[in-house]
Amino acid sequence: MRSAIHSASAAVALAAAVAITAVTPAAAAETPDPAADARAFQKFFTEKFPKVKLQDFVNGPYSMNADMHRQWEEKEQFPPYDFSLEAGKEMFAKPFKNGKSYADCFPNQGIGIRQNYPYFDEKEGKVVTLELALNRCREGNGEAPFSYLKDEMAALTAYMAFTSRGKPFDIKIPNDPRALEAYENGKRYFYTRRGQLNFSCASCHVQNPGERIRAEVLAPALGILNAMPIYRSEWGGMGTISRRFTTCNSQIRGVPLEPQADEYRDVEYYLSYLSNGLPISGPGARP
């Protein structure tokens, strides 16, 4: 582990100036330009991995290595997330005690809408994620909220993602200074170092995708949320975006925030926007 961390840290130091400048061209601009950020971000990854098609970045580490890709194709014949997907489908269709259901809380009855989340709620002035919207739906209909990390929430989001498979992310930043501020806050969080290892999200997922830390092959940040929720062999089960964020903070020996904290919602907004145009591939499976 010590050797792996040392190698990763060295790679981070060498790549930091070039990589961060390449993917955040608007950082020094007077007016932030998310569209320019997204173009530069996608260009950075397609140039870094010229053999990987843009749409394939949603397959995470499996897009980085031919052997892993073959293993993934075999795994997808009997995907380990099937149990969660089936459970989510049943849960989604089951009415609440008041007779209403999840379908009453979402556009198009909740089918094929995953690609539109998270979105910026102009009335509330904050980012609303799919996980947050599901629990608000439950509470608004007299039901107790689910844990944001796994189990029921992972199953529900797995089903909703499955109904959107192949649809491209279509995240909007409305003409509202608060929306742009949320995007910029997410961007800042993504590139800020924290924890005892002094890593940022970008240290692993921008500067070192395809490399290994321990037995884990690091996924590229581009398309990383398109496959969520995911079954991870390391977890022995399903996990949500909230679980992935809190786990990442723990792995760098930092203090995780509460699931669905503003910072986590903003970084989800930022990363999702940068992956606009890439298809939803969730639920997924990872090592």
User: Could you tell me if 128 and 181 are in contact, meaning their C-beta atoms sit under 8 angstroms apart?
Assistant: no
Average pLDDT, integer, range 64-70:
78
pLDDT band at 27 (very low <50, low <70, confident <90, very high): very low
248 catalytic residue (yes or no): yes
Catalytic residue among 137, 201, 204, 248: 248
pLDDT given for residue 211 in this prediction: 84
Nearest-angstrom CA–CA distance, 93 and 101: 7
- Mean pLDDT across the chain, nearest whole number? 88
Domain locations in the chain?
1-287
How far is the C-alpha of 209 from the C-alpha of 154, rounded, in Å?
Answer: 25
Amino acid at 223: G
Q: Domain 1-287 adopts which CATH fold? A: Cytochrome Bc1 Complex; Chain D, domain 2 (1.10.760)
pLDDT for position 133: 98
Residue 216's pLDDT band (boundaries 50, 70, 90)?
confident
d(CA 279, CA 165): 7
What's the confidence (pLDDT) of residue 210? 84
